[in-house]
Amino acid sequence: MILGSGSAWDTACVQLANAARHLGLDDGLHELLRTPRRAITVSVPLLRDDGQLMVLTGYRVQHNLARGPGKGGIRYHPSTDLEEVKALAMWMTWKCALMGIPYGGAKGGIAVEPALLSRQERERMTRRYAAELVPLIGPEKDIPAPDVGTDEQTMAWIMDTYSTHTGHTATGVVTGKPLSIGGSAGRAGATSRGVQLALFAALRQTGRDPHATTVAIQGFGKVGALTAQYLHDAGCKVVAVSDVKGGVYNPQGLNPAALIRHLAEGAETVVGFPGTDTLTNDDLLELDVDVLVPAALEGVITIENADRISARIIVEGANGPVTAEADRILEDRGVMVVPDILANGGGVAVSYFEWVQDMQAYFWSEDEVNDRLRALMERAYSEVAMLATTQGISMRKAAHVIGVSRVAEAHRTRGLYP
């Protein structure tokens, strides 16, 4: 394994290089697969409620379009930059290929702290950013979805802006929309359901009983909160969760539904929830639990703390939470890592279902969506586990080998234009 510096882009490039070497790809094809097809930076002027003008920077990267239109979330976060968006877009390429979904990989974002903006400011910012992207996105070109700091309302504004510019209602331009404008039943919980399915497959593979399994989850947002709830409902003991302000711990187990209600009723953080002890995000990662689910940001398990991770299984709800160096340490220590492009693939799976329903203008029941999600997740998990076992490689490497090989095959089959 080649080691990188720990940035998301470096980690993504190391993972690709490992897969390319395993597959024996030639240098030219490897470089083609590494290089983003399109990367755009846009300025997003925003008129604040107080009359001041601020100019934000937005990005959209279409990493690879060989297997279909671009697909990937839009992130609003202060540390978002082009390098991070490139890495996230590359992971989307391998994830869609691994999940067997006919999409390429893309990602976008704005460097901004959305919590500091009013709802009206967020709407103006989103619409201006979307207007800049109109020539690039579309149901057959590139289909955004929510990510960190964005939600279904953000998608509704993008859909409306795009539709207004093109002169017709285009529900299929984004996924993760509200149900009232062509969203899919089951999309809101899809990533978390997928994390649960991947985690349960890992428990079965390692002969563990879900009822005797303790779990810590970093991040209590769209992915982390529902993952906590589904795991609790399925019998696991979720002992710790956290958000950007810190974490809460109860060795007897938390009640995620009560915590979700607590936030819905106006609490700004999980910290201070009655009946819990406070702990830091660093402590949470090192907690003595069976399973750790990082579900916040990338690069949280590094060369600094990988030796101190106690969990025997890590299921990556977040994209890129483990750096390439940390990955090697965890592998040497025998920690099983269910990689992001597999573990959180449930989100893009149901985004794909949403797009299919939009294109057909025919909608499925939540049970149908969940059944199809289960089938995709279980097929992808068993393909990865089988390759990892037969070739004696990590789940991470196996997942990348499958994803990268499918994209490489698409390039070979299509040939190079001109």
Of 180, 267, 176, give the one whose Cα is nearest residue 220.
267
304 or 409: whose CB is closer to ligand NAD? 304
Among residues 220, 273, 353, 381, which is the contact residue for ligand NAD, using CB under 6 A? 220
- Measured from the CB of residue 244, what is the shortest distance to ligand NAD in angstroms? 4
278-284: Cβ within 8 A, 24+ apart: 278/246, 278/247, 278/248, 278/249, 279/240, 279/242, 279/246, 279/247, 279/248, 279/249, 280/246, 280/247, 281/218, 281/242, 281/246, 281/247, 283/247, 284/216, 284/218, 284/240, 284/241, 284/242, 284/247, 284/249
403 binds ligand NAD (CB under 6 A): no
- Measured from the CB of residue 128, what is the shortest distance to ligand NAD in angstroms? 21
- Measured from the CB of residue 209, what is the shortest distance to ligand NAD in angstroms? 27
Cis before 418 (ω within 30): yes
Kind and range of the H or E element at 203? helix 190-205
276 or 319: whose CB is closer to ligand NAD? 319
Q: How far apart, in whole angstroms, are the C-alpha atoms of residue 56 and residue 179?
A: 30
Quick note: the x/- pattern for ligand NAD over 122-151, rule CB under 6 A, is ------------------------xxxx--
221 binds ligand NAD (CB under 6 A): yes
Q: Pairing between strand 246-249 and 237-243?
A: antiparallel
20 or 323: whose CB is closer to ligand NAD? 323
What are the angstrom distances between the C-alpha of 1 and each of 307, 318, 396?
18, 22, 12
| Tokens (6 digits) for 15 | 């993972």
**Residue 342: how many other CB atoms lie within 10 Å:** 31
Stretch that binds ligand NAD, among 41-49, 136-144, 238-246, 359-367 (CB under 6 A): 238-246
- Measured from the CB of residue 88, what is the shortest distance to ligand NAD in angstroms? 7
Q: How far apart, in whole angstroms, are the C-alpha atoms of residue 138 and residue 400?
A: 27
User: Residue with the closest Cβ to ligand NAD?
Assistant: 221
- Measured from the CB of residue 8, what is the shortest distance to ligand NAD in angstroms? 10
* Candidates 107, 177, 222, 397; catalytic one: 107
218 binds ligand NAD (CB under 6 A): yes
Span 289-328, contacts to ligand NAD by CB under 6 A: 295-297, 317-319
Site size toward ligand NAD, by CB under 6 A: 24
- Measured from the CB of residue 100, what is the shortest distance to ligand NAD in angstroms? 17
25 or 347: whose CB is closer to ligand NAD? 347
Span 262-281, contacts to ligand NAD by CB under 6 A: 281
Q: How far apart, in whole angstroms, are the C-alpha atoms of residue 124 and residue 158?
A: 11
Span 180-199, contacts to ligand NAD by CB under 6 A: 191
Q: Cα-atom radius of gyration of the chain, to the nearest Å?
A: 20
188 or 402: whose CB is closer to ligand NAD? 188
What would the DSSP string read from start to end of 132-171? Answer: HHTTT-BTTTEEEEE-TT--HHHHHHHHHHHHHHHTS--G
Among residues 137, 174, 223, 311, which is the contact residue for ligand NAD, using CB under 6 A? 223
105 binds ligand NAD (CB under 6 A): no
4 or 221: whose CB is closer to ligand NAD? 221
Span 334-393, contacts to ligand NAD by CB under 6 A: 344, 347
114 binds ligand NAD (CB under 6 A): no
Q: How far apart, in whole angstroms, are the C-alpha atoms of residue 405 and residue 25?
A: 9
Contact 197, 378 (CB under 8 A): yes
Strand order in the sheet with 38-47: 38-47, 53-64, 105-111, 70-77, 142-146
148 or 203: whose CB is closer to ligand NAD? 148
Contact 285, 301 (CB under 8 A): yes
User: Can 107 be counted among the known catalytic residues?
Assistant: yes
Q: Which residues are catalytic?
A: 107
Q: Which residues bind ligand NAD (CB under 6 A)?
A: 146-149, 191, 218-224, 242-244, 281, 295-297, 317-319, 344, 347
